Amino acid sequence: MLSRLSEWFWNERLWFPEGLGWADLEGRDGLNYAKASDLWVTLPIALAFLIIRQIFERTVAIQMAAALGIKEEVRMRATHNPTLESYFSITNKNPKQSEVESLGKKTGYSERQIHRWFRRRRNEERPNKLKKFREASWRFTFYLLAFIAGLAALIDKPWLYEMKEMWTGFPMLTLLPSQYWYYMIELGFYMSLLFSVASDIKRKDFKEQIVHHVATILLISFSWCVNYIRAGTLIMLVHDASDYLLESAKMFNYAGWRKACNYIFIVFAVSFIITRLVIFPFWILHCTWVYPVTVYRPFFGYYFFNGLLFVLQCLHIFWAVLILRMAIKFLPGNNIVEDERSDREETDSEDDEEEQEDRKAPMKNGPVQNGHSPLNNNHHRKTE
């Protein structure tokens, strides 16, 4: 059963144009070609990235945060209450008004106290600025180094300037050491991101990030197996060209450097639009979708490869919308551009002010229960 499945999966008619096959990728005359077996090395590379990341975030990132004035935030913790904790963990983290009243009867808390408890408990699960900075600094460092390395590997290659050159001699495209390590390191990094997704900060586009990581891993792996390495290197370079700018903008955002954040964000937005919505679809995607059929008859691998590219392009459009929404907020003169995907922390400062006012005038509002006026227990507000 497995042998038949493997035979079908690696069928030459699926992955190569007519008249070409795996035999054409056998090394000969001292020339090396990409092989599927090479991809096994990405597993230890991904593990190494996970280890290096932990060391980086606990040493270098902490020092960078200290230099920018970012400190560990002290948050008000929710008081221990088994009833509320059980409801929070099992039933709902944002109880409705009727549920708040029911919990008040069980615990003896006023409605305002229950709202405050849930706000503080939700905040406990939100990552603080230091954690966000550490994660952003790690990604910034990798994307910047990857972009520089990719540019150095491709700067003298003809297909960087003439896209059609990526298909010259296909599939017998000689593998260069720089291409080998560029591929292995990029693939290992995205695998490490997929492995660490459970512990990373979850944003509003969490599902889209998962789709992006999976599509990227499949795209890099498939392009390697069938020797689309020239197209693959261009795709990776285009993606790395703007990612480090976004991460650096986040770093300055968390540090409170508003002008620096805004200026870098503008550069990032322009870079993203140019690379993801212009160069990627009208140069690279055009050359992988339109040009090959003038040389070969379409085959399954052609459709599969371009299908993954179209998935990435859909994600580019989705993220471009988020970027434009942030840009619109920035243009009127907002002090800072916040990540649309981030979950904002709630505060109870206004609620505390109302509580102090109630304590100053208890007779005006009637009897006080647990330090709060029953008539005003429904006055709670989330401050963003």
Q: Which of 51-60, 146-155, 364-373 has the lowest mean pLDDT?
A: 364-373
The proportion of the chain whose per-residue pLDDT surpasses 70, expressed as a percent, equals: 79
Give 121 or 384, the one with higher predicted confidence. 121
> Over the range 235-271, which residues count as b (16 or more CB within 10 Å of their CB) and which as e?
bbbbbbbbbbbbbbbbbbbbbebeebbbebbbebbeb
Q: Give the model's pLDDT for residue 373.
A: 39
The verdict on 114 and 190 lying in the same domain is: no
pLDDT of 25 higher than 90: no
Instruction: Report how many domains make up the chain.
Output: 2
| Higher-pLDDT residue of 342, 9 | 9
Instruction: State the Cα–Cα distance between residues 52 and 30, nearest whole angstrom.
Output: 35
Dist CA 114 CA 206 (whole Å): 29
pLDDT, tens only, 183-196: 999 999 999 988 88
Q: Which of 52-61, 341-350, 362-371 shows the lowest mean pLDDT across its residues? A: 362-371
The count of other CB atoms within 10 Å of the CB of residue 67 is: 9
- Let me know if residue 266 belongs to a domain: yes
Mean pLDDT of the chain: 79
- Residue 118 and residue 201 in one domain: no
Same domain? 151 vs 37 = yes
Does residue 346 carry a pLDDT above 60? no
- In a domain, residue 345? The reply is no
pLDDT number for residue 191: 92
Residue 269 pLDDT exceeds 50: yes
CATH of the domain at 107: 1.10.10.60
Whether residue 286 is found in the same domain as residue 258? yes
Residue 133 and residue 200 in one domain: yes
For residue 351, is it within any domain? no
Higher pLDDT, 335 or 71: 71
Residues recorded for the chain: 384
Whether 273 and 133 map to the same domain: the answer is yes
pLDDT at 370: 42
Residues 170 and 211 in one domain: yes
Bridge partners, 85 (sequence order)? none
Verify that 56 and 190 share a domain, yes or no.
yes
What pLDDT does 330 receive?
66
pLDDT-based confidence at residue 33 (cuts at 50, 70, 90): confident
Residues 140 and 252 placed together within one structural domain of the fold: yes
The predicted pLDDT at position 101 comes to 79
Least confident piece of the model among 16-30, 209-223, 235-249, 340-354: 340-354
pLDDT in tens, 304-324: 889 989 988 998 998 899 888
| DSSP annotation of 200 | S
The model's pLDDT over 161-174, given as tens digits with 9 standing for 90+, comes to: 888 888 887 777 88
What contacts 40, CB < 8 A, 6 or more positions away?
Answer: none
Q: Which of 290, 305, 330 is the last residue of a domain?
A: 330
Spatial distance between the Cα atoms of 62 and 130, rounded to a whole number of angstroms: 8
Task: State mean pLDDT over 26-48.
Answer: 83
pLDDT of residue 313: 93
180 assigned to some structural domain: yes
Position 378 in a domain = no
Domain that holds residue 204: 31-66+128-330
For residue 105, being part of any structural domain is answered with: yes
Do 223 and 113 share a structural domain? no
Looking at the structure, do residues 55 and 180 belong to the same domain, yes or no?
yes
The string of pLDDT tens digits covering residues 89-105 is 777 777 788 877 788 87
pLDDT for residue 15 is more than 60: yes
Q: Per DSSP, what are the bridge partners of residue 369?
A: 372
Domain boundary among 330, 350, 376: 330
pLDDT at 128 over 80: no
pTM: 0.74
Between 115 and 177, residue with greater pLDDT: 177
pLDDT at 51: 95
> pLDDT-based confidence at 368, cuts 50/70/90?
very low
Q: What's 126's DSSP letter?
A: S
Question: Is residue 365 domain-resident?
Answer: no
The residue among 331 and 131 whose pLDDT is bigger is: 131
Q: Is residue 208 part of a domain?
A: yes
Q: Which residues pair with 372 in a beta bridge?
A: 369
Q: Which two tokens stand for residue 8?
A: 């079908």
Report, in angstroms and rounded to the nearest whole number, the Rg of the chain calculated over CA atoms: 27
Residue 355 confidence (pLDDT): 44
pLDDT (0 to 100) of residue 383: 37
